[in-house]
Amino acid sequence: MKKLIVTKIDNYNYTLTDGKRLYEKNIEFYSKNKPVIGDIIYLSDKIFTSSFLSFIEPYNSVNLSIDDIIKIVSNNKEYYLQREYG
């Protein structure tokens, strides 16, 4: 899992850093829990290498792959979102 900090948000364009490099990602959050500047996002390498990302509230399913889930840490609270395909 990669640990990335949100440094800038411009609509759906997120600038993230791992402390060494800056990354630009186009991400849509269909959730009330959206990251803000300074929040930490944990995501898999599979998700990180995707060009366009979309996330929704997670389903209560035991069949979810870790590659389909991200964790957002905001104000010492953790939120989990599921990747949406399609």
Predicted confidence at residue 47, as pLDDT, reads 80
Instruction: List, run by run, the mean pLDDT of 10-residue segments along the chain (86 residues).
Output: 95 94 91 93 85 67 70 91 78
Q: Quote the domain boundaries for residue 53.
A: 2-83
Question: What's the pTM value of the predicted model, to 2 decimals?
Answer: 0.84
DSSP the chain: -EEEEEEEEETTEEEEE-SS-EEEEEEEEESS----TT-EEEE-HHHHT-SEEEEEPPPS-TT--GGGEEEEEETTEEEEEEE---
Predicted confidence at residue 44, as pLDDT, reads 87
Cα–Cα dist 21/33, whole Å: 25
Number of structural domains, the chain? 1
